Structure 1
Amino acid sequence: MALVVTLALAGGTVAVVSPAQAAPTKFKNCTALNKKYRHGVGKKGARDKVRGRTKPVTNFKVSTAIYNANTKLDRDKDGVACEKR
């Protein structure tokens, strides 16, 4: 039995949200996250912190909700979890 939530939005629009859409996925580790989001996940406005001449990763998935569910995977605390070229 599937649980479905119906939301009434402004202007008479109705949105149907399944539980999978309602809560972002919490990944066990960066390997699991990178299988779905190849270059990592960052919150809006985040920039990859790098050292030396390394270029920052800019093509990560931008999603504050997914990032917030996986903040423990952001080892350098730059707002991008599991960044990878």
Structure 2
Amino acid sequence: MLKIPASSRPSPARRAGAGLIIAVASVLALGAGPATAASPAAVGNAASMSITAPAAVDAASSLSSNNSIFAAAAKPAAAKKFANCTALNRVYPHGVGKVGAKDKVQGKTKPVTNFTKNNALYAANTKSDRDKDGIACEKR
């Protein structure tokens, strides 16, 4: 068995970095054609790994040219504005509130805690929050 001196062995962090670069190179190779490494011996050393520029450019252009896949992720859907609480409660049975909002109650009534937490949706329907506690149309 060949022993390698500790000073010339790559550290665990460098080995992990090399794995990440190999994974990125593999992804680019799948989408854009051949990606090349400096040499098979260089796999253990992350600093000596390189990807050919045309492969990286081709991968980037092929991703950006297919806008239909990324269109939904690029622009979030606008929050729906409901006419009244009846319409809102058909879709969100326990109401809609801001993240971190707490139901304001009186007496022994238990607060509603299972409402949908969504800041944008609440902002579109703030007119339906009669008690101004941060939860619109709360209902048990």
Higher helix content, 1 or 2: 2
CA distance in 1, matches of 2:100, 2:70: 27
Is 1:73 matched with 2:125? no
- Structure number with the higher strand fraction is 1
Corresponding position: 1:52 with 2:107: yes
Distance 1:15 1:47, change over 3 A: farther
1:22-50 residue CA offsets vs partner (Å, 9 max, x unmatched): 21000000000000000000001100000
> What is the CA-CA distance between 1:78 and the residue it aligns to?
0.0
Aligned residue number for residue 117 of structure 2: 62
Residues 49-72 of structure 1 show CA distances to partners (whole Å, capped at 9, x for unaligned) of: 000000000000000000000000
Residue type matched to 2:126 in 1? T
Distance in 1 between the 2:120 and 2:112 partners? 19
- How many residues are paired up? 71
- For structure 2, the 5+ residue unaligned runs are 1-63
1:82 matches 2:124: no
Amino acid at match of 1:45: G
Aligned-pair identity in percent equals 65
The amino acid of 1:50's aligned partner reads: V
Q: Tell me whether 1:16 sits opposite 2:81 in the alignment.
A: no
Cα distance in 1 for partners of 2:70, 2:121 equals 20
- After TM superposition, give the deviation of residue 16 of structure 1 in Å: 2.4
Q: TM-score, normalised by structure 2?
A: 0.48
Runs of 4+ that moved beyond 6 A: none
Max Rg structure:
2
Q: Distance in 2 between matches of 1:43 and 1:16?
A: 27
State the Cα distance separating 1:83 from its structure 2 match: 0.2
Consecutive unaligned residues of structure 1, counting only runs of 5 or more, are: 1-7, 9-13
Question: Which residue does 2:94 correspond to in 1?
Answer: 39
